[in-house]
Amino acid sequence: MCVIFVYVNSNPIAGGFKLILASNRDEFYARETQAAAKWANKEHVYGGIDLEPGHEGGTWLAVGGHEGVFKIGALLNLTGEPKPRNAVGRGMIVSDFVASTDEYNIQTYNSKLLADCKKYSAFNFVSIEISDNTPAHVSLLSNKPPRLEHFVENKCYGFGNSLASAPLQKVIKGRQRFESVVEDFHSKLTTTHKEYISNKSLQMELVTNLKNLLKCKKKYWPDAELQRRAPNWGEELSGLNVCMPQAAYGSRTHTVILIDEHNKLHFYEETMTGLDPEGEWRQTHIEKKFFENKNANL
């Protein structure tokens, strides 16, 4: 189980962000993982890497920036769907998208994936493409059943472990809270812009509020769709922050990603270092200026 909330705007207000993203990765605590960092073999890509034997090199969430274009990809499981025989690993779906520099844009990549998606176990693939000269693209590709949906920029969206047509309650409620956080940030930005530029206090307040959202353990139960998909564990999975120590499973990584108006990436990650969710968590903060804003002098 995972959840992701996104806001994109290719032309944000002064001091604003082209991307505001908050995501929880729910996984078994023992699954070996590399924390968020620049990829050694693709230096324009940042994100975590799956080190599980047989799945090395895949990822659940990553960002790539190249020649004026940002690509963001995230993979979510579709809970409760049967696994096809000889299913292909899904982690490279994100890796191949964010790492590509010439062969694929978001439309061509999703078209190719949609035509070949039945060979994978059930998934939702969230893809985002942002550049200065065109509206940002947000897409959701599901493979059970095969379907590709597109969403307009300048709105807040939430995606989880069900189809977009039947969202889980925690996705519905979480998106509402995410939208409130984003709207509060924009409201304060328009009234205190000069102060924000000098100390970035609003940015850190935004990050804190998004992390608090991701760490919320309130259970949104009952949930008919989740009960259908996970009849044995539905209630335990109904919070944004899943904590199931009895199964050694839960929200082991919290991620906030911002891309500012000057094409600078701000990547915040908190991830478990051991098997105890009450134990130590590694804090990662990455800042990277990718390229100049083509509209900077307009």
pLDDT in tens, 133-142: 899 999 999 9
Over the range 240-277, which residues count as b (16 or more CB within 10 Å of their CB) and which as e?
bbbbbeeeebbbbbbbbbbbbbebbbbbbbbbbeeeeb
| pLDDT score for 72 | 98
CA–CA distance from 43 to each of 66, 267, 278 (Å)? 10, 15, 33
* 99-113 residue pLDDT tens: 998 888 999 999 999
Q: Give the residue ranges of DSSP H helices in the chain.
A: 92-99, 106-115, 169-191, 193-199, 201-214, 224-229
Task: Give pLDDT tens digits for 161-172.
Answer: 999 999 999 999
User: What local confidence, expressed as pLDDT, does residue 193 receive?
Assistant: 55
CB-based contact 155:131 (threshold 8 Å): no
pTM for this entry: 0.96
What pLDDT score was predicted for residue 179?
A: 98
Residue-wise pLDDT tens digits, 40-60: 989 999 999 999 887 788 999
Record: fold of 2-289: Penicillin V Acylase; Chain A (3.60.60)
Q: Please provide the size of the chain in residues.
A: 298
pLDDT at 194: 54
Q: Is the distance from CB of 29 to CB of 269 less than 8 angstroms?
A: no
Q: Which of 242, 253, 241, 256 is nearest to 209 (CA)?
A: 256
Tens-place pLDDT, residues 3-41: 999 999 999 998 999 999 999 999 999 999 999 999 998
